[in-house]
Amino acid sequence: MRLTDIGPDKSVSTPHYMQIAKKIRVCIENNEIEAGEALPSERELCQTTGVSRVTIRRALGVLEADKVVKRKHGAGTFVLPQVEHLGSSLKGFTSNAETKGHKSQAIWIVKAYGMPTADEATILQISETDKVVRLGRVRQFENEPVAIEHAVVPARLLPSIDEIDESLYHALESRGNRPVQGTQRVKASLANPTEAGLLSVREFSEVLRIERRSFLKDGTPVELTRSAYRGDRYDIVMDLGNDQLS
């Protein structure tokens, strides 16, 4: 992969490194460079743009600070994937990744049976003595941690926990209990020390807290999932119809 036409316009006052950073970002946004792909070396970028290595490093530094790329010592500079979720779509993390042509991974924190709290029992419309499955995972996108998910599901809706892989919805579907409708609440927050460590970000970095409740066709509650997504790696995209605009 080679980048062309990213050299600075010397007739404008904007610093050269800022111009180059912007042009590389546009190439990435236009999918001219794919997630996980390495940018040309600093030497090649110098030759392409006609600027010094110091300028190139400053441009890459801007992109790295904005979480667009990641520089790996001795390996190069790589484009970071961006997780997108269509706000009107009831899809799990795995399906979202597959839709974008990327691979997701899960690091398990907890996979166990338990009893619901009073709040969980109310939301799931079950008794506090009914068994639930607790699934806690760090979700990764192309080996980069982007979310911490904690799901609570009535055990009767799932196969044995030994049969549950990284996709909760696949497990539910195997028992004919894949949800068909749901609600999702999103709010901005800051990562606490534990979350920051799991997500490989600084303490008090921006996160999106997402609570999802999903249901079967007859209205039976299926899941209560509370997640913390990295604000720099996750976008929520909404499709709006004319009837929603004023």
| Confidence (pLDDT) at 102 | 60
Q: Which residues of 35-59 are buried (b: 16+ CB within 10 A; e: fewer)?
A: beeebbebeebbebbebeeebbebb
* pLDDT, position 17: 93
pLDDT tens, position by position, 2-13: 577 888 998 889
Q: What is the pLDDT of residue 227?
A: 94
Q: What pLDDT, on a 0 to 100 scale, did the predictor assign at position 234? A: 77
What pLDDT was estimated at residue 1? 45
Which CATH topology does 16-79 take? Arc Repressor Mutant, subunit A (1.10.10)
What's the pLDDT at 245? 47
Domain boundaries defined on the chain: 16-79, 83-242
CATH topology (fold) of 83-242 = Chorismate lyase (3.40.1410)
pLDDT in tens, 28-65: 877 788 777 889 999 999 998 999 999 999 999 999 88
User: Structure tokens of 163?
Assistant: 């049969």
Low-confidence residues of the chain, pLDDT below 50?
1, 245-246
